[in-house]
Amino acid sequence: MFIIRFIRTKYITLLGIVIVGWLFPFILGWQEYYVISGLFATFYTALHWFGTLEIIAYFQNRYPDLRQTQKRLMMEVLTIGLMIFMINWGVAYVIDILILEHKVGFTRQLRVTALAAIFTLLASAIYESIYFFNVSKKSLLETEKLKNENLQAQFAVLKNQVSPHFLFNSLNTLMTIIPEDSNLALQFTDQLSAVYRYILQNRDKELVSLATEMEFVKSYIFLHQIRFGDSLRSDIQIPQEYEDWQIAPLTIQILVENAIKHNVVSANKPLTIRILVEDDNILIINNLQKKKQAEVSTQVGLSNIQFRYEYLGNLPVEILPSATDFKVKIPLIMTHEKAMKQ
């Protein structure tokens, strides 16, 4: 790692070491032995510089995130300070006392240490500034990428929900019930219009309240229950205190649709979909009874939801399948007003 970092910055590193090394004795007033002092100062500067590169690289690898900048800087300053002390009071002592047989004065060594600290921390600030700029630029690019993926996911959701397949099934069901029960047909039509109205009104929103989403989901489930009868059952338990929490629109509907699409729904094998809240997450659970020949997937589903919640702040979407059921845990997002009160 050291060799790679040295090669990448060799011109800056060598130039910096030479300039600082020969500037050191001039600042400290050691012109009488300028050549010898310059050589030793260059050696010390090299130790400081290469040591600083290693320390900065270590903590940048350990704390790479922008949110860890304060912690990273604190650890770098403390470690670099310890390194400066060890070089100026350890290595210098060995060379001056044991090799050159010079007496190291406390005041002189204190001045050397202070000056070394200034140059070393200045170099560290330059390297850290370059790193911060590069990470910030990368973060902005990733944010823009996630934004684009979120827009694509939202478009895919909209395109999926207004697909002819869903509308065709709904119209077939409506044509079946019109002769049998005109009141139910009117109710079905009203719920169908509510579903499409919700999609059109919320297609560009990042978040909606859980109460708003659940009104839509209940309408969506109602349409399928008219089609499947008692073969499709739902159990919805949403505490009132969570109704103003927020969720990405169409999230629950996608999971309900997937449950119906990929599982058997029959009188012998009724499908039950449960929607409940647990630890500030909403759980969507269905009993697992996979079809032998699954319908063709639209590739929206879970990857769509994960993209959107990653965009919203790297929020975890947990997929928890078992032998008997399929469970997905979606994080609920607290409103800004509620968060401020806590």
- In tens, the pLDDT along 4-59 reads 444 345 666 666 666 665 566 655 555 555 455 556 667 777 777 777 778 888 88
Least confident of 58-62, 127-131, 231-235, 272-276: 127-131
Q: Which residues contact 27 (CB under 8 A, 6 or more apart)?
A: 115
Facing residues of 328 across strands? 284, 319
Least confident of 132-141, 145-154, 166-175, 279-288: 145-154
Cβ contacts of 170 within 8 Å, gap of 6 or more: 188, 192, 223
* SS3 at position 280: coil
Residues sharing a CB contact under 8 Å with residue 59, sequence separation 6 or more, in sequence order = 72, 75, 76, 79
User: How many Å apart are CA 17 and CA 19, to the nearest integer?
Assistant: 6
What is the Cα–Cα distance from 274 to 31, expressed in whole angstroms?
84
What count of other Cβ atoms lies within 10 Å of the Cβ of residue 289? 17
Helix spans in 63-101 (H): 69-86, 92-93
Its pTM surpasses 0.75: no
Nearest Cα to Cα of residue 277 among 331, 316, 314: 331
Question: Structural domains in the chain?
Answer: 2-143 (no CATH), 162-341 (3.30.565.10)
- Residue in this structure with the two tokens 């650890």, named with its chain if needed: 75
